[in-house]
Each structure stands twice: as structure tokens, then as C-alpha cells.
Amino acid sequence: MIRALLIGYGKMGKLIAELAPRYDVAISGIVAPRAVFGEVVCYNSLTDEAIESCDIAIDFSTPRDIVERLQPLIKAKKPIVVGTTGWEKQEKELRKLVHDHHAALLYSPNFSLGVALFARLVSYASHLFAPFQQYDVGMMEMHHRQKQDAPSGTAIALAAALMEHYPHRTLTHDLAKSKGLESEQVHLASYRSGYHPGTHEVIFDSTVDTVQLTHRARNREGFAQGALEAAYWLIDKKGFYTLEDMIEEKISRKPK
């Protein structure tokens, strides 16, 4: 059994705490104001005691000050699983910090294993469709109204997988008023409403047919499962990883 320190106690943090025993993970503490989870010790800030209590940390909190927040854990060489999104512009700085201290961090904007495999499908489908100019391509993502970033981190990652095969086109999130898309633009649309846990679509469209790839989360449990599985995978490693690294290792080990 490994001991995990939860940073953040929103919807994902609570679900991870609830599911942790199924994955042989003990929650050693929670860093969040006013958090309550059984007899688990809760901290208002990341104290030395909180850091010492864990084998690994799982961060599903906020993007604000993420480098400063994780620095004490990195210096203590505590592996970190990060599901917080919206801080990607600081990735270079965080990578350097992890490298300099020989620490370990795994980041994913979406810990659904289905989404990770879906990204591979998107990349391969884009490879197939890109040479055929009669097919246009577009993307759409939909989440609950409380989600803070738009487009989602998952949509950005999927767009990167797609755009690798469209080097002469550009991705846009916004449409100019009274003006359609430019011929080279690929539109990524974001929709926020209600309680949707997450839907991502890639659409290849021509005058004669439509091919549509969709991943639709039924609930958040899949995200928590992926994060807990990633925690076990990361525990003895050093370096900066993504969920794709874990997926690739698992696929390479599949029975022949």
C-alpha cells in the first residue's frame, strides 16, 4: 500500500479519496481549507508534516502558483501526479525543477484511460484524412458550467495530436463576427452548460458524408481510476511524464 497526499478537495479530490482503498492507496492527508474526510488529517497549507506523511502527492487543485506550490514536494523528491489544468505555460519551468532535483512528476489534462486511447485514434484518423482535401476537419468539447478553462486541457492535447497532420493549417478557438472560417483554419469550439463531465469530438466532413469520433465520459470515476493507477506507476520513477508514457509502456508489454 502507498500513502498519498491529496492537494485539493473538489469533486475530483473527493472521488479519489473515496476510491483510493480499491487501489490499495491510503490517503495520508488532504491539503485544502475546511476539508473533512473521516479521520484523515487535513492541512490548510502544504506543511513539512504533510510532505513527510506521504509516499506520493496527487494534485487536483488550481493552476494558480502551481510551481511554488509543488516546489517543496519536488525538493523532497516526493513523486507527484498532477491533474490540475490551465498552467501549461509554466510547464517548461516545472520540467526544469523536476529535472534539477531528480524528482518525478506525471501530468495529464485528463486521466481517463479511454481519452488517452482516443487521442491515438484521433492522431491516426487525422493521418488518414489529411491527404484528402475534400474533407474538412473541426473539433468540439463540452463540459459543466463550473469548468474554469476553455478550451479544456484535454481538447488542447487532442488538437495537438490532430494538427501534427495538418502542418499548413492553424487552430482557432474564436470566430470573427460576421465572418466564417478562413480556408486554413481549424475550429475548436467550447461549450459550457449544466453538469456534463466531458465530451470531445473530432469531425471529418465532406459534401457526401461525415465521419465523427466521439469520447463521452459517463462520470468522473474513470478520471479518478486513471490518477490512482498513475500513482502506482510513477512511484519508483524519476523524470517528467505524461499519461501517454504510462499507456505506451503498458501497450508495449501486452501479450503477443
pLDDT above 60 (res 256): no
Give the relative orientation of helices 113-129 and 153-163 as an angle to the nearest 10 degrees: 30
Sorted by where each starts, the structural domains of the chain and their CATH numbers stand as 2-111+220-252 (3.40.50.720), 113-216 (3.30.360.10)
pLDDT tens, 188-240?
999 999 999 899 999 999 999 999 999 999 888 998 999 999 999 999 999 99
Alpha-carbon separation of residue 135 from 139, 156, 204, 205 (angstroms) = 13, 21, 6, 5
Give the relative orientation of helices 221-234 and 243-252 as an angle to the nearest 10 degrees: 70
Which among 156, 169, 88, 86 has a CA at the least distance from the CA of 119?
156
Choice between 254 and 18, residue whose per-residue pLDDT is larger: 18
pLDDT tens, 1-27?
999 999 999 989 999 999 999 999 999
Res 147: pLDDT: 87
Mean pLDDT across 147-152: 87
pLDDT above 80 (res 72): yes
**pLDDT, the chain, mean:** 93
pLDDT tens, 169-187?
999 998 766 578 888 999 9
Choice between 169 and 253, residue whose per-residue pLDDT is larger: 169
pLDDT above 60 (res 244): yes
* pLDDT band of 126, cuts 50, 70, 90: very high
Residues known to be catalytic: 143, 147
pLDDT above 60 (res 251): yes
